[in-house]
């Protein structure tokens, strides 16, 4: 009897109780039922408005050109919200909820890229930590700050493989390797979206810029890209597939023309690949004004045609082109755009809104800033990420700095807070950051630390006081680098060298006869061939965020053993670009096909990074008898042969040396793992090779194949040959 009662009760709870409300307002119904119910109630005009994203009033992004609107229509789909005040956001939301006929909530988007208020290391630096779990944590903290400030949707992560450091946006992604972009992108998606989008600690992620934007010709932003189909599949689409599989609910279509069909009108990438082949059911928003730019790209003659091209290709939401709101209604009326295409786009927008729980919880709790920002765990993560992402490029033994009583701290980045934040600093402010100088003063309490700027970031200034200080000192710490807005969107450069004045400052200080440790703070690989011979040590800090100073000072003193490795190649000179590790092979080897005037090798290759200890790699061994038919393991023992404990990242590459379908790169990274190895101890690292995932390649039609034959697996300075 009791059992019957209980079953009856459970059954009662499962039966949707009729509340008299329309089905789409019933949170107990399945998402798709709610979507279809709401869609069936909407007029064409209401549908069209859901497909637009506007921004209101303030627009703090200089690259977001175009008009902002003075008043939002209540039926609008989305807003880019440049504020951090939930009160203002809630007021806009109230209008959508109460003044639109169906009460459809707005979704508020924003570029929360490497921190909302607490600013962390830039993405390129994050990749050099080889610690995706830490990046996931960072994104989770950032999501919490953003969502509690009224943001439901972040335009992040950027997973554009970037092999040209003249392109300013290399700072925003995870470097030159497709797999690394996929792993860190997926970690970001998990961090942002958390255990569920309804949580007040989660935001919807947006993969961008779909696709191939990083292939910009000669590193110039927004321009044409020439991408062959095999390269599209194996390089540029590769990380997107990993991140779609990780559950990202949205993507942003790119600005670039992909070999003749722009990314924001590309039916192949947006519909045939993303929707049909990958089964993606979330939302695609255009990049800012990208629909209108189809005209400039020579693909459409006017905004009406551009809107038709974009929506039929698979761009669901128009960010600020004002093409959909102006023309979609008529385009459906004239039969140029089928209503079913509009319906499908609306479904995708509504789905994300339902997933975020916006119909039930449209408003953000109005908590005080102290409850939202700079929480202790977030600050701790900022410090750890800064420490693990810095890369020691050179060290002749001067580091760690020991037994010194006079430290000269010099350079434009030494007592500079703003430029540590990097591009997309969101709501971060210079005052939130700790300057390197302060970190060094705290780290070396028994030494006398003195400071001179020497020159400004442009390299202008009188060096004499700095040279005098160098003479006085036991060691010089010279902090060079870039301004935060020298990288990011629309910041292409023809040379990636630092300003000549900064290089001259190093020469002048070196002439004072004291060891010089150069620290670099920048958003792209730099041309360092003139700096390298003069510096006793070089530490790449990237743009480490608000807690970079403690990390930098800790590495200088030896309290922190550096463990970062490059996720992007540092060319010897700008003329070598593009230069990246996973290139295809040449028909001639050795001295053929190399530069006659300079070395053809990079200054610092992908994966380079020094430690205060040494690691020795044993011979990799295959466990059991490997075959193509089933997963197998390869192991390597790594021994810390030095005197300091150290974190070591083991990078596993594969190579398929001969391939008749399409030639493959010299080597391809397929797995990495980072572990602490105590001084004198050994650790075994294991690569679980799944041939169906790790050994194959895609042909130009996106068909995955795995060939039988010879394979090589590379790890450290060793490799193992397999016949599979």
Q: What residues act catalytically?
A: 287
Query: CA-CA distance, 184 to 174, in Å (whole number)?
Result: 7
Residue closer to ligand NOJ, measured from CB, 194 or 488: 488
The single-letter DSSP state of residue 274 is I
Residue closer to ligand NOJ, measured from CB, 61 or 529: 61
Q: Number of residues interacting with ligand NOJ: please give it, by CB under 6 A.
A: 9
Among 61, 90, 100, 326, binds ligand NOJ (CB under 6 A): 61
From the list 56-64, 192-200, 308-316, 517-525, the region that binds ligand NOJ by CB under 6 A is 56-64
Question: What x-and-dash track marks residues 99-118 binding ligand NOJ by CB under 6 A?
Answer: ------------x-------
Q: How far is the CB of 221 from ligand NOJ (least distance, A)?
A: 9
From the list 59-67, 185-193, 292-300, 603-611, the region that binds ligand NOJ by CB under 6 A is 59-67
Query: CA-CA distance, 338 to 334, in Å (whole number)?
Result: 9
Burial of 686 (0-12, 13-18, 19+ CB in 10 A): middle
Q: Return the closest-CA partner of residue 675 out of 699, 717, 646, 695.
A: 646
Q: How far is CA 200 from CA 34, 117, 274, 363, 678, in A?
A: 22, 16, 29, 11, 40
From the list 58-66, 330-338, 404-412, 656-664, the region that binds ligand NOJ by CB under 6 A is 58-66
* Residue with nearest beta carbon to ligand NOJ: 155
Burial of 224 (0-12, 13-18, 19+ CB in 10 A): middle
Q: How far is the CB of 287 from ligand NOJ (least distance, A)?
A: 5
Residue closer to ligand NOJ, measured from CB, 287 or 318: 287
Q: How far is the CB of 157 from ligand NOJ (least distance, A)?
A: 11
Of residues 428 through 487, those in contact with ligand NOJ by CB under 6 A are none
Give the distance between the most distant pair of CA atoms in the chain: 94
Question: What x-and-dash track marks residues 140-169 binding ligand NOJ by CB under 6 A?
Answer: ---------------x--------------
Of residues 336 through 375, those in contact with ligand NOJ by CB under 6 A are none
Q: How far is the CB of 695 from ligand NOJ (least distance, A)?
A: 34
Query: CA-CA distance, 100 to 235, in Å (whole number)?
Result: 44
From the list 57-65, 98-106, 350-358, 479-487, the region that binds ligand NOJ by CB under 6 A is 57-65
Residue closer to ligand NOJ, measured from CB, 68 or 686: 68
Q: How far is the CB of 281 from ligand NOJ (least distance, A)?
A: 22
Query: CA-CA distance, 219 to 215, in Å (whole number)?
Result: 8
Residue closer to ligand NOJ, measured from CB, 155 or 436: 155
Structure-token pair, residue 705 = 């194949």
Q: How far is the CB of 156 from ligand NOJ (least distance, A)?
A: 8
Residue closer to ligand NOJ, measured from CB, 207 or 480: 207
Q: Are 124 and 542 in contact (CB under 8 A)?
A: yes
DSSP β-bridge partners for residue 648 = 675
Q: Are 198 and 361 in contact (CB under 8 A)?
A: yes
Strand-strand pairing, 615-617 and 206-210: unpaired
Residue closer to ligand NOJ, measured from CB, 222 or 354: 222
Q: How far is the CB of 393 from ligand NOJ (least distance, A)?
A: 29
State the DSSP H helix or E strand holding residue 408, giving kind and residue range, or none if neither: strand 406-410
Query: CA-CA distance, 161 to 178, in Å (whole number)?
Result: 6
Residue closer to ligand NOJ, measured from CB, 282 or 564: 282
Q: How far is the CB of 206 from ligand NOJ (least distance, A)?
A: 8
From the list 61-69, 114-122, 125-133, 573-581, the region that binds ligand NOJ by CB under 6 A is 61-69
**538 — phi, psi (to 5°)?**
-135, 125
Indicate the length of the chain as a whole number: 724
Among 164, 257, 434, 489, binds ligand NOJ (CB under 6 A): 489
Structure-token pair, residue 163 = 């092999």
Residue closer to ligand NOJ, measured from CB, 61 or 199: 61
Q: How far is the CB of 317 from ligand NOJ (least distance, A)?
A: 12
Applying CB under 6 A, does 64 fall inside the site for ligand NOJ?
A: yes
**74 — phi, psi (to 5°)?**
-65, -20
Q: Are 682 and 617 in contact (CB under 8 A)?
A: no
Query: CA-CA distance, 286 to 320, in Å (whole number)?
Result: 9
The string of DSSP letters for 457-505 reads TTS-S--HHHHHHHHH-SEEEEEEE--GGGSSTT---S--BPPHHHHHH
From the list 60-68, 292-300, 458-466, 474-482, the region that binds ligand NOJ by CB under 6 A is 60-68
Q: How far is the CB of 238 from ligand NOJ (least distance, A)?
A: 20
Q: How far is CA 176 from CA 11, 74, 122, 363, 580, in A?
A: 54, 43, 15, 40, 7
DSSP β-bridge partners for residue 517 = 477, 537
**CA torsion through residues 23, 24, 26, 28, sign:** positive
Residue closer to ligand NOJ, measured from CB, 157 or 716: 157
Question: What x-and-dash track marks residues 230-269 binding ligand NOJ by CB under 6 A?
Answer: ----------------------------------------
Of residues 195 through 214, those in contact with ligand NOJ by CB under 6 A are 208
Structure-token pair, residue 226 = 């020439």
Q: How far is the CB of 709 from ligand NOJ (least distance, A)?
A: 42
Residue closer to ligand NOJ, measured from CB, 63 or 600: 63
By CB under 6 A, name the binding residues for ligand NOJ: 61, 63-64, 111, 155, 208, 287-288, 489
């Amino acid at each position: 009897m009791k059992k019957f009662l209980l079953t009856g009760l459970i059954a009662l709870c499962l039966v949707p109780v009729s509340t008299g409300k329309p089905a789409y307002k019933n949170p107990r119904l399945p998402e798709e039922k709610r979507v279809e119910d709401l869609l069936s109630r909407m007029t064409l005009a209401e549908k069209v408005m859901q497909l637009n994203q506007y921004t209101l009033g303030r627009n703090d992004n200089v690259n977001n050109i175009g008009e902002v609107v003075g008043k939002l229509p209540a039926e609008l789909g989305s807003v880019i919200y440049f504020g951090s005040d939930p009160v203002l956001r809630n007021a806009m939301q109230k209008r959508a909820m109460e003044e639109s006929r169906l009460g459809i909530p707005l979704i508020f988007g924003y570029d929360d890229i490497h921190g909302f208020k607490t600013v962390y290391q830039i993405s390129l630096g994050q990749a050099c930590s080889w610690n995706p779990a830490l990046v996931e944590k960072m994104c989770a903290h950032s999501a919490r700050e953003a969502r509690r400030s009224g943001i439901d949707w972040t335009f992040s992560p950027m997973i554009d493989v970037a092999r040209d450091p003249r392109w300013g946006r290399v700072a925003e992604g995870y470097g030159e390797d497709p797999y690394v972009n996929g792993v860190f992108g997926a970690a970001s998606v998990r961090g942002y979206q958390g255990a569920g989008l309804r949580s007040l600690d989660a935001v919807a992620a947006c993969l961008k810029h779909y696709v191939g934007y990083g292939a910009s010709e000669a590193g110039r932003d927004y321009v044409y890209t020439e991408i062959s189909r095999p390269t599209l599949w194996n390089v540029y689409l590769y990380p997107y597939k990993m991140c779609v599989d990780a559950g990202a609910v949205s993507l942003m279509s790119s600005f670039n023309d992909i070999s003749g069909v722009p990314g924001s009108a590309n039916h192949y990438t947006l519909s045939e690949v993303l929707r049909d082949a990958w089964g993606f059911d979330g939302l695609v928003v255009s990049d800012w004004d990208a629909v209108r730019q189809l005209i400039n790209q020579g693909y459409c003659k006017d905004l009406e045609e551009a809107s038709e091209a974009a929506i039929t290709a698979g761009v669901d939401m128009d960010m600020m082109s004002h093409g959909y709101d102006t023309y979609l209604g008529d385009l459906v009326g004239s039969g140029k755009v089928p209503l079913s295409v509009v319906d499908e786009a609306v479904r995708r927008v509504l789905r994300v809104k339902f997933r975020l729980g916006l119909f039930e919880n449209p408003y953000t709790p109005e908590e005080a800033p102290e409850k939202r920002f700079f929480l202790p765990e977030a600050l701790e993560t900022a410090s750890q990420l800064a420490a693990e992402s810095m890369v020691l490029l050179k060290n002749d033994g001067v580091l760690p700095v020991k037994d010194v009583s006079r430290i000269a701290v010099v350079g434009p980045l030494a007592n500079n807070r703003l430029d540590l934040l990097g591009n997309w600093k969101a709501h971060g402010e210079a005052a939130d950051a700790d300057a390197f100088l302060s970190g060094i003063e705290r780290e070396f309490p028994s030494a006398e630390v003195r400071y001179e700027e020497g020159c400004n970031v442009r390299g202008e200034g009188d060096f004499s006081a700095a040279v005098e200080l160098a003479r006085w000192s036991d060691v010089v710490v010279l902090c060079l680098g870039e301004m935060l807005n020298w990288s990011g969107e629309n910041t292409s450069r023809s040379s990636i060298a630092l300003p000549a004045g900064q290089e001259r400052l190093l020469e002048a200080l070196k002439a004072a006869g004291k060891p010089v440790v150069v620290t670099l703070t920048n958003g792209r690989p730099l041309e360092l061939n003139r700096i390298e011979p003069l510096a006793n040590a070089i530490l790449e800090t990237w743009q480490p965020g608000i807690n970079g100073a403690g990390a930098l000072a800790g590495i200088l003193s030896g309290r922190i053993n550096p463990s970062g490795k490059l996720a992007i190649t540092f060319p010897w000179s700008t003329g070598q670009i593009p230069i990246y590790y996973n290139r295809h092979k040449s028909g001639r080897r050795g001295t053929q096909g190399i530069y006659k005037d300079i070395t053809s090798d990079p200054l610092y290759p992908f994966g380079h990074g020094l430690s205060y200890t040494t690691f020795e790699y044993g011979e990799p061994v295959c466990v059991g008898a490997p075959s193509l038919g089933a997963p197998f393991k390869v192991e390597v023992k790594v021994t810390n042969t030095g005197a300091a404990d150290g974190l070591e990242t083991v990078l596993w590459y594969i190579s398929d040396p001969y391939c008749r379908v399409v030639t493959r790169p010299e080597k391809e990274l397929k797995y990495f793992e980072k572990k602490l190895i105590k001084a004198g101890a050994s650790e075994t690292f294991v690569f679980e090779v799944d041939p169906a995932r790790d050994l194959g390649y895609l042909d130009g039609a996106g068909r995955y194949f795995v060939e039988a034959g010879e394979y090589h697996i590379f790890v450290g300075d060793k490799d193992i040959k397999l016949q599979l």
